[in-house]
Amino acid sequence: MPDAGSGSPGAPSSESGRHGGRPVRWSDAWLLALRSLRRRGGRTLLAGLGVTLGTTMLVALLSISATADSRIVSQLSKGGPAAAIHVDDAYPDPGNLASDELKTGPHHDLNDAAVAALRSSPNVASVVTVLSTPVLVIPCPGVTPGPRAAAACRQETDGYVTTAVGSDLRRASDLPITLLAGRLPAAASLTEVAVTQSYLERVHLDARRPAAVLGSEVELAAPQALPGAQTRFRGRWSRAEVVGVVAQTVDQGEFLVPIEQSQAARQWSLAGVATRGLPRQTSPYSGLVVVADSLADVHAVRSRIADLGYATSAPEHLVASVQKYLHIVDIVLGGIGAVALAIALLGVANSLLAAVRERWREIGVLKALGASDGDVARWFLFEAGLLGLAGGVVGTVAGTALAGSVALAVNRYLVDQGLQGIDIGLLPAAWVLGVPLASALLAVCGGLAPALRAAGLPVREALGG
Amino acid sequence: MAAPLSRVETVAERGFGAEIRVRGLLHAYGEAGRLPVLRGVDLDVEPGGYLAISGVSGAGKSTLLALLGGLESVQSGLVMVGGRNLASLNGRDLAHFRRDVIGFVFQDFGLLGMLTALENVEMALSLAGVSRAERRRRAAELLAEVGLAGRASHRPTALSGGELQRVAIARALANRPQLVLADEPTGNLDEDSALRVLELLERLRAERGCTLVVVTHNQELAERAGRRVRLTRGTLQ
């Protein structure tokens, strides 16, 4: 038998030697914890399932709550950003700022200088220009009504005058627009328009089936008043395809068009004379949509716009009030999920306590071999952490899937009702990482009492002496 | 003042077993020590010695062994093992003492059921912070030394009693202890296995020079030891 210095298996090498206070390697502790969990497969499965269900419930409730919150706020802000402010080409009424509603004074031209001033203002994230112009509309030009015609053209519809709302569609995400079917017109397009549900009714279509209008054509005529004793108009005609159906509150009007179409129509009208029915549109823009950095900045931005001499409207008071209630709902739903998770963690603690009782003798043996109290505690805490982590990962996936399923069902219902669907967004990365880690951490907390109990066992007692 | 563990380590590295010196050892259980177990034990074992302790059940044999191995705190008296006064060690130091100085062999083997034979031996090395590759190598060599090279990957449920005890012996020797304490190591074995296990312990003691203390009921086995003592009602005869 070789002696200590010659590398006998029982002899200390320079590497292994006597290690004083060095604890068991983490990798070994994890491995031991994993083996212990595997050995108690049934109980591990049940405890892990508890954590999974708790996490699933928490994630699903928070996801549904967050989606509902954004949906409600989106509804209040008509589909646009919650911090959007409507600016009108008019001076503000003295009581304008105290109200969410638009309270206007006399007309005040909105020009590029005002737009530039707003864009350089603090707390302003975006400024989108709007120009509404009157148009004469002929639905389904050149189409003979009948059963063979497209759905929007089966019945005859007389021409009528309405308003085309022109917006900078490059910034459509900042506009209070809800897309119900199809898509928005391409930015700067002169041959594409989107219509509102009012147009569907006008062409005898079911507003709950907005897609039926897509692909049909309209002729739009920008009016120009001719000089003379008798008021006469001529039109600048253009033909466009209906590519989308929207609910919009950018301005009142049945058509949403790229602002380039409205600007061309305005130039055409300005070349004519002013009449009672068609006043000269001196303002380059009929309105603006200003988006503040956050809801908290809305009032300050409205004040600055008022200082520039323009009236505004924004649902700031309504949104703030509703958000308070939504916050309470969030807390309640989060609380329910947290209770579910807490119950699951009690399951983890219970499972580990049972494991301590079962492994009483093993704990004694480990201590007899030289395991410190810390080694034993770490063993049980790692088991708890593994249970929490595994349950947290599976629960996050399952919770997301559950929330997605609920959202799909709700979405289908909303779309069937002709309403805007809800976004089934991906779970934020912070949640994907944070929830399993938090679950593991909470499980470790749940395992603290069993771990301390195991660590504190007197060796002889644990060995059954 | 007690010598630091490093002093003990130096002794171990020279290949000597631990010297045992016990004086006036009293130990009792129950409230206010109403159940005395050891009533003034004095004992000396030279480094590398072989001591067998026998006695009837309840005589205090296992308690004496537990006190020598640092499994229990010394209540009264002096227990010196390898130059260490065990009464002066706190819980953490006692854990290090058990890991670095003592090798335990239990009657019921004390193997972890979730680990293979090799992993059970590795566990002792793992507690000493030995790297995975090194401890795997050393554990395999130890199993080969006790004749179980072919059973390394078996779990305890697949091993016979004699094999289990040999795995336990390999584990006890993993950190090259100065003192091996065996509590009824043959108590759960048939006569043939018991003899072979004891022979193995004796051979390893002789080769390594560690001190061996065996507690046994079996008078025949006890007589194999270089020195024998009998505990009767907490006192050594």
Question: Helices A298-308 and A316-358: crossing angle, nearest 10°?
Answer: 160
* Residue found under tokens 């043996």: A365
CA distance A51 to chain B (A): 24
pLDDT tens digits, B62-79 = 999 999 999 999 999 999
Hey, which bits of A58-176 come out as E strands? 84-88, 90-92, 104-107, 124-139, 160-167
> Does A273 score more than 80 pLDDT?
yes
SS (HEC) of A387-421: HHHHHHHHHHHHHHHHHHHHHHHHHHHHHHCCCCC
Give the span between the Cα atoms of B142 and B122, in whole angstroms. Answer: 10
Q: Which residues of B touch A367 (CB under 8 A)?
A: 71, 95, 98
ipTM of the complex: 0.89
CB A448 within 8 A of CB A381: yes
C-alpha distance from residue B108 to each of A361, B66, B156, B164, B218 (Å): 10, 15, 12, 9, 16
Is residue A327's pLDDT more than 70?
yes
Q: Do B71 and A8 touch (CB under 8 A)?
A: no
**Secondary structure percentages of chain A, helix, strand, coil, to 5:** 50, 20, 30
Q: Is B124 on the interface with A (CB under 8 A)?
A: yes
Q: At what angle do helices B117-127 and B132-145 cross, to 10 degrees?
A: 130
How far, in Å, CA of A56 to CA of A298, rounded? Answer: 36
Could you tell me whether strands A124-139 and A217-226 are parallel, antiparallel, or unpaired per DSSP bridges? antiparallel
The pLDDT, as a whole number, for residue A465 is: 55
User: Which residues are CB-contacts of A32 (< 8 A; sequence separation ≥ 6)?
Assistant: A24, A379, A382, B123
For the stretch A382-400, pLDDT in tens is: 988 998 999 999 999 998 8
- Nearest alpha-carbon partner for B53 in B180, B228, B179: B228
Judged by CB atoms closer than 8 Å, whether chains meet at A373 and B91 is answered as yes
Per-residue confidence (pLDDT) for residue B46, from 0 to 100: 92
What is the percentage of chain B residues whose pLDDT exceeds 70?
93
CA distance B221 to A345: 52
Which residues of chain A make contact with B62, given a CB cutoff of 8 A? 465
Q: What is the pTM of this model?
A: 0.66
Give dist(CA B226, CA B237) in Å, integer.
16
Average pLDDT of the segment spanning B50-69: 91
Tell me: the pLDDT tens digits for B74-113?
999 999 999 999 999 988 899 999 999 999 999 889 999 8
pLDDT tier at B178 (50, 70, 90 boundaries)?
very high
The answer to whether B115 contacts A35, with C-beta atoms less than 8 Å apart, is yes
* Residue A181 φ then ψ, to 5°: -160, 155
Query: Residue B172 — pLDDT band, cuts 50, 70, 90?
Result: very high
A325/A322 Cα distance (integer angstroms) = 5
Query: Would the pLDDT of A336 be above 60?
Result: yes
Q: What is the mean pLDDT of chain B?
A: 87
Residues of chain B positioned with their CB less than 8 A from the CB of A379: none
Chain-chain contact of B63 with A19 (C-beta, under 8 angstroms):
no
